[in-house]
Amino acid sequence: MRLVLVGPPGAGKGTQAVRLAERLDVPHISSGDLFRANLRDKTELGLAAQRYMDAGELVPDEVTVGMLRERLAEDDVEKGFILDGFPRTAAQADALDELLRDAGNELDAVVSLEVGEDVLVQRLLARGRTDDTEDVIRRRQEVYREETAPLLEHYAEQLVTVNAVGEVAEITDRIVDVLGPR
């Protein structure tokens, strides 16, 4: 199963991706987690990404695509993946299309997690990550609307939408249901 989760910051992509990865037995690949791991290890890539992350801006596409290309070349990805937080721009989606095409694969579905904006801000403020200050949260929402939301059209054919308000387990069930038997 090859899945992409999309949704605004706070929609629960990370939470659902972890649960789906377990249910579907495929690796969970989070671009944000990869950046944070690089930051923790003080790699060159991590240091290059830091100022963008702190400001709620997107890390430049070349850096992000390079990092994902490496991750998607690892052996565990052969059985599929759940992508969380990537792609976030049209250029990243094009790069992913090309990677998949070269490997003779395609996405099974793109799952859009739908949540109203007031719920999002509440969730993010409760999460307390260092980039979860109100200004940065607002900026990330804006970046989502401008850069990432247009991808829903790019993926019109594979897109399934799920109401992502409610209990965590219930939302996972909704996603699994909408994916159907595959």
Binding site for ligand AMP (CB under 6 A): 9, 31-32, 35, 52-53, 56-59, 64, 85-86, 88, 92, 140
- Cβ 168 vs Cβ 19: under 8 Å: yes
Radius of gyration for the alpha carbons in the chain, expressed in angstroms and rounded: 16
Q: Which is nearer to ligand AMP, 32 or 175 (CB)?
A: 32
CB of residue 134 to ligand AMP, shortest distance in Å: 15
Q: Which is nearer to ligand AMP, 35 or 155 (CB)?
A: 35
CB of residue 24 to ligand AMP, shortest distance in Å: 20
Q: Which is nearer to ligand AMP, 81 or 86 (CB)?
A: 86
CB of residue 2 to ligand AMP, shortest distance in Å: 17
Helix then strand then coil, in percent of the chain rounded to 5, is: 60, 15, 30
Residue 133 corresponds to which tokens in the numbers above? 């200050």
Query: What DSSP element (H or E) covers 113?
Result: strand 109-114
Residues 6+ apart with CB under 8 A from 153: none
Cα separation, 48 vs 65, whole angstroms: 14
Q: Which is nearer to ligand AMP, 19 or 88 (CB)?
A: 88
CB of residue 106 to ligand AMP, shortest distance in Å: 20
CB of residue 25 to ligand AMP, shortest distance in Å: 23
Which of 25, 23, 21, 141 has its CA nearest to residue 33? 21
CB of residue 177 to ligand AMP, shortest distance in Å: 25
Q: Which is nearer to ligand AMP, 94 or 173 (CB)?
A: 94
Please give the order of strands across the beta sheet that includes 109-114.
28-30, 81-84, 2-6, 109-114, 159-163
Q: Which is nearer to ligand AMP, 121 or 173 (CB)?
A: 121
Cα separation, 43 vs 100, whole angstroms: 27
